[in-house]
Each structure stands twice: as structure tokens, then as C-alpha cells.
Structure 1
Amino acid sequence: MKNSPISRLRKTMRYAGMLACCLLLTTAAAFAQEIRANVTVVSNEITGVDKKIFTTLQTAMKEFLNNRRWSNDAYTASERIECNFMLNVKQQVGNNTYNATLTIQATRPVFNSSYVSSLLNTQDVNVAFKYVEFQPLEFSDNRVVANDPLVSNLTATLAYYVYIILGLDYDSFSPRGGDQFFKKAANIVTNAPDAKEIAGWKAFEGNRNRYWLQDNILNSKFSRFHDVMYQYHRQGLDVMYEDMNKGRAAVMNSLNMLYAIHQDIPNSMLLQVFFNAKSEELLKVFSKAPPQDKSRAAQMMAQMDITNANKYQQMK
């Protein structure tokens, strides 16, 4: 277990000015896991089932996400990546078997600021799983699928998104810093659970699923996206406290790189995921920009993120 440069940088950024408070902490806290996940399981649409099972599932998911080590880097409790997982159980399809949607959100601190930037804000609509109350949630990178694919599908999906979150976070602190985690997510896709009730892991099952997200991230055609993540955050948001114009210029350059990707590969899932997380933030970044910068940013964003095109056009 090592304390990586990225981990040390995260610590410096998140807790600058809090040394006096940190000195009050005992060494008993030592090193913690990488993420701090707030977990919610919603079951409003399910009837005829003892709802206690979903409370138990919520606790099990929280322990699975928060108590497991996902990397070899050392984190203190105060450095953990803040994220939210909301499992909305929509339908019971068999004995202890359900269909659900999963909403995943994660944030990153911004240097010299209490502001946190959204790294991921997405919803997975194809989460089929089996859960028997009090059964342990288990996962291994070397054996993604256990004895029952439907039991394994929940933990495989959770682990997949943890690796995506870690990859995006590390990319934002260091050039190509997230590669190791994106490859772990790809390994889960390659070895994913397979059953007739399970969807989301294969290319032919749609153009907006787990397969396509990891494919885009690791595809050489999207290699500039990793430069975007680093420049947008480290050279953009992180310098705005000291030099707003310099930081905004880096964000603008990030948009230019994204626009080049968009021109080569329009309507990609990866850019949609980026703008799902960043649209509101970009509106704020360019709200007080010079007119020519505001107009250029609005033009590019409206073409890349059609869902929010009207909002961007109002910036001009």
C-alpha cells in the first residue's frame, strides 16, 4: 500500500488551511478506503415483499462500497472520494429477483475552495439482480461471476462504477492517471455475468450502456478525452482561485478538444456522460466570460450537448 502523488495532491487540495483540525485526529484513523459512498435503496414500486429486505440490502451495499479497498494507494478518511449510489428497485421478476435502475454521482474538490466539481452523474437503467436477505455481497477482479450470474450482477455493476469513478478522479489529477482503473472496469465488462435477464454489458444491447462507456474511455479515438479531464480540472478549475482568466482559458481549451472529438465521433456516450456531469458548471464558468468567449463556448456546447442546447444559447 502506497501513498501516491495523486493521493497526496488530493489531500493538499481538500484540506488546505485545516492543519490545526487535522492535528486533533489520532493515528487510529490510519488509512481508509478510497470512496465514501452514500447509498440509498428505493422500493416504492414493489409490493407484496417485506420491505425490510431492502433496508438490509442498503446496508450491505454501503458496507461493500465503503469497506473494500479498490486500489493500492493509501487514503486517509478525510481524503475519500464523495459519491452517491441510489438503487431504485422497479420490479420483482422472480423469487428474490428484481429489476432496478442505478443512479451514480461522484465529486472532486477544487483547490483553495469549498466548491466540489461533479465528475460523474449518470443513470444505469439495466440492473437485474438477485438478493436474499443477509447474503454477503462478494466480488473478485479475478472471478467476476460467482455461482449465480444474477447474484454476481449487482456486485459487478457496483464495482464497475467504482472503477469508473476512480479512473475519472485520477485522470483529473494526473495525465492518464486513471488508466489502471479503466482497465479494471473493462475487465469486468469482458468477464461480466451472462443470463437472459441481464443486460448492459454487451455492445449489441444498445449504444448507451456499460460496454460503450468503457469502450469509449479506452478507445484511442477518444484519447484526447483524458487530456480534457486533466486540463479542465488541474489547469482550469484548480487555478481559478488565483487567476480566473487563466483557469477559464484552460476550460475553453478543454472544450475545443472535446469539440474535435465530437466532430470525429458525433453523439458519443462519453461526451454525453461528460456533459451530464458538467453542464451546470460550464454555465457558471462562462457566465462572466468576455462576450466572444461566451459566444464561442455556447456554440460548441450547444452542438455537443443537444439536451441543454437552449440553456447554452441563452448565454450569448
Structure 2
Amino acid sequence: MRRPALLLPAVAAAVLLTACGSEHAGTQSPGAGSGGPTSPSPVDQPAVDGVRITSVTIPSGSRSTSPSAAASASASTSPAETGGGVRAERLPDGLPADPGVSAAYEVVNSTAGALTYTVIFGFTTSTGGAVSNQKVTVRSVGAGRTVTGTVRLGTLAPGAPPVTRVKVAEVTRVPAAEAPSEPGVCPPSGIRITADDGDSAMGLRVVGLLLENCGTEVRTLDGYPRLSLLDDDLQPVRGVEVMKGSGGIATVAGFDDPPRAVTLKPGERASAGLMWRNTTGFGEAVDVPYVRVLATAGAAPVTVTPHLDLGTTGKLGVSPWRRTAEQTGVPGS
């Protein structure tokens, strides 16, 4: 697994793909204003955790979205570097447009079990400057199977520089049966678990675990979520103390509340928190890309990817489940 540099994307787009066997997974639909037809240019890039870009398409008529961007894109880039040239044209009053940039990719599962892949593709300038990230989820790729698909850059914000390169910036992969369900789909367990993007300040990290009773039965949570910390190979991480409450890491509201049973009717939600510091002192820093979560004892496991950069602290605090104010009101959705 590789993590990308932090980037505020010009477009936040996710493609949810279901894969079985060696087949075409899907393509993001093109937007209006694409450039003229251009044949895909093959790309020879090494695979990142089984994901590889096979070709890049950059239309010769790719357009910028403002006079300043048009000026910066006026010089064509080398086809050897980008898979095609880029020519800028001015759009009326800076209206956004889809420049038509896309990349074909393949996902190869060489493991012994079905995996769900989440891939972040980075669209960059010729010098490597980040322009946009696109996230693609490829679900249930069977053992020994290959899935192909296409990811598009999409519409850029006014003034964005021209994109000439595409790379695999990050890959996470979890057992297909443990992958968080896609939005709007309730898993067979009737409990949907996800992790938020987290928050950080002065080395303190906090990530929220979000649980929704999307089924039709009443569910009761009995205290704290059960956690297993996993490495890049989905094997247990040793040497980290998982503490109930803050464990003295920091004073954060709710972390040291006493645990209590939380009963959720269909459509109701609960949350818990993970807290740590990324301080690095003597010893080897520990990174935990995956966390397997059990809502209660005996519940179906869900593996999330909060990327815990624990440094050398060796500690992770966990708050108890508590009811959240926001409810869906749509059981089974």
C-alpha cells in the first residue's frame, strides 16, 4: 500500500465497481467539452499492490478553463512523457470543462482470496504537480482474477493547470467479505461501519468509527468496539497497546465516558473514536494501515483503512460507542 501526498482534489469522484473473473470493471462517464479523439498511449509502469495503469489518453484538443491556464498549457508536452500532447483553448467566461483525460488500468489479484480494492489515481502536471485525485473502488476481485477499467479526470476548477500524467497514488485492499458496504447498500449483517477522514492537531490524531443500524432489527452495542490492528499484509501488528478510553494520551470529550449499552432502532446511528499521537522517539515507528472492527462480540468483522501513524508511542485509545444525533430514518437502505 502506498499513501499519496495530501491533496484537496478539484473533483471528488468515486466509482463503485463489482468484479468477477477477468473482465472490464467500468468507466467513469465522460463530461461535456472533451477534446478531440486521441488513441490511448501505452504506459509501462510497475504495478502497485496489483494495480497498474496500462494506457493514458490525453486528447490533442484538451482545453483549459481560463486565460491564465491556457497560457500555461500552450506548449505541447512530450508524448514519451505523457502519452500525448496538450493544446489549450480559451473557454467563454472561464466555464469549467472536462479536458477528456483518462487512464486505463488493470487490477490483478494474485492472492488466495477475494479482495476489494480502493485505488486513488493521481492526475498531475508534466513536472509532477498534483492537480486532482480520483478514487475508484473495485469490489470482490476473485483470487487469481484480473479486472480492467478506465478512470477519467473529470471537470476541473477554473485556472487548474493541464494534466499530462496519471499515476497510482495509493492502493488499499481488504477481504471482500469485510469491506465496508458501498453507500446506500445495507450489508447482510444489518450493520454498516465506516471510518471518517479524521482530524489532527499538533501531532494528536482522532478518527471516528461510524456505525449505522441499516437493518430491520433492534441492535444493542455493549461498550467498546473490538479492534484488531493489521499491517500491509493484513497480518496482526504487535507491540501496540489498545486502551479503553484515552489512556492519558490527551483530554478529548467523550473518550473517558463510562461505557454503557447503546440500543439502536433501525435507522439509528452510533459512533466511537480512535485517538493516538504520531510522536517519534527511540525505536521503530509503527504504521497501521488497516483496522478490523467488531461492533460487538461475535459481530461480523469490517476492515477499515484509517492509516494509524502511531510513531513510537505504542498506544491507541478507543472511546465507547455512543448514540449520535443524526439518524437516517431509512431502515434497510
Fold shared per TM-score above 0.5 = no
TM-score range, shorter chain: under 0.3
Choose 1 or 2 for highest CA Rg: 2
Identify the structure with the greater helix proportion.
Answer: 1
Q: Provide TM-score, normalisation by structure 2.
A: 0.26
Q: Provide TM-score, normalisation by structure 1.
A: 0.27
Flag the structure with more relative contact order, 1 or 2, with Cα contacts below 8 A and sequence separation at least 6.
Answer: 2
